[in-house]
Amino acid sequence: MSVATTMEHQAHAAEPAESPITPESWGKLGMWIFLSADAMSFGGLLAGYGALRYYSHDWPRPMDVLGIALTSFMTFLLIVSSFTMVKALSARRRGDLGQTTIYLALTALGGAIFLGLQAYEWSHLIHQGLTLTGNPFGSPLFGTTFFILTGFHGMHVTAGVIYLVITIFMARRGAWGYNEVEITGLYWHFVDLIWILVFTFVYLL
Amino acid sequence: MAHSGAAHAHKEPNYFGIIVVLAILTAAEIGVVFVGLPRFVLGVILVVLALWKAGMVALYFMHLKFEKKTLAVIAVTPLILCALLMFALLPDSDPERNLQKDAAGAVPSAPQTH
């Protein structure tokens, strides 16, 4: 690009219409920056969890307390919901609003079932005496970190389900196009990505 | 909508293949827990598998592979910062030192000799 065209471009627009990093939209760049910051919140919680766990002598083996079958199913569910999300995006790219709606709805349903199972797991554990400050299986900090970490993630899933429902309405009205659906997808895949890490560090390790 | 054609010029990855790989890796994670490996080995395997899965989600589902490299820098930054944070917290999780500190808490003026 010549200097003259660059100057002309700058003269016409005080603010460039396109983000230099994400030429499709500023919104996508905004979502990525938000997700980076959000990743730090989870990173802080996970690092704190690691330090507290290493400090404790009577940390229970999480699988013995939490079981693994239900959580494994929840993990598969989130992975599948990520798949339906990219299918929704593909459908939107083709301009197929019907398929977009169906796949977005399936994604939201996957998130809702995940939340239901998490509520079931939580109530089961609370009945067994695991609370924010108490743990009959060992260190009370296990209860604290477990509920804070999975709770913070569950909050993100809740927000994601609401976000997906809003996306369905906006996409059907034609107000949100491919780009907006992709941004919704970025958030949803991030929630899946975080669960992959939580599943490993809290349940398996 | 005007320039939606240029926005996604890359070829769509085989998404179904990716979730199959993610499902297999998840099954491997669950399986390896029951093998009865030494704790350290198990930890390394689980962390590698988790980062592999997380990387696949970011690269393909979040299209990071097809974005400008600067965006990848933004995405990787928290990972580096969290690694540093873990080292920053490491002194706090030294069980020996903390137990001594807790014991010393009862007698504040007791001099510590090391």
Find where tokens 């609401």 sit: A162
Task: Give the whole-angstrom CA distance, residue B29 versus residue B31.
Answer: 5
A149 belongs to a structural domain: yes
pTM of the model: 0.85
A11 belongs to a structural domain: no
A13 belongs to a structural domain: no
Residue A105 belongs to domain with CATH number = 1.20.120.80
Number of domains in chain A: 1
Q: What is the pLDDT of residues B79-106, one digit of tens each?
A: 999 989 988 887 776 666 555 555 555 4
Q: Please give the pLDDT value at position B83.
A: 87
A5 touches chain B (CB under 8 A): no
- Tell me chain A's radius of gyration from C-alpha atoms: 21
A33 belongs to a structural domain: yes
Q: Is the pLDDT of residue A109 over 90?
A: yes
Task: Give the whole-angstrom CA distance, residue A84 versus residue A113.
Answer: 14
Nearest to residue A180, comparing CAs of A163, A198, A205, A156? A163
Q: Where are the domains of chain B?
A: 13-62, 67-93
The boundaries of the domain holding residue A194 are 27-204
Q: What is the pLDDT of residues B29-80, one digit of tens each?
A: 999 988 888 888 999 999 999 999 999 999 999 998 888 898 999 999 999 9
Residue A2 to chain B, least CA–CA distance (Å): 22
Chain A residues inside the 8 Å CB shell of B42 = 205
Q: Which of A28, A36, A58 to mutate to test the interface with B (most CBs of B within 10 A)?
A: A36
A22 belongs to a structural domain: no
CB A167 within 8 Å of CB A104: yes
Residue A7 to chain B, least CA–CA distance (Å): 23
Nearest to A55 among B54, B70, B98 (CB): B98
Contact A196 B54 (CB under 8 A): yes
Nearest to residue A32, comparing CAs of B67, B15, B51? B67
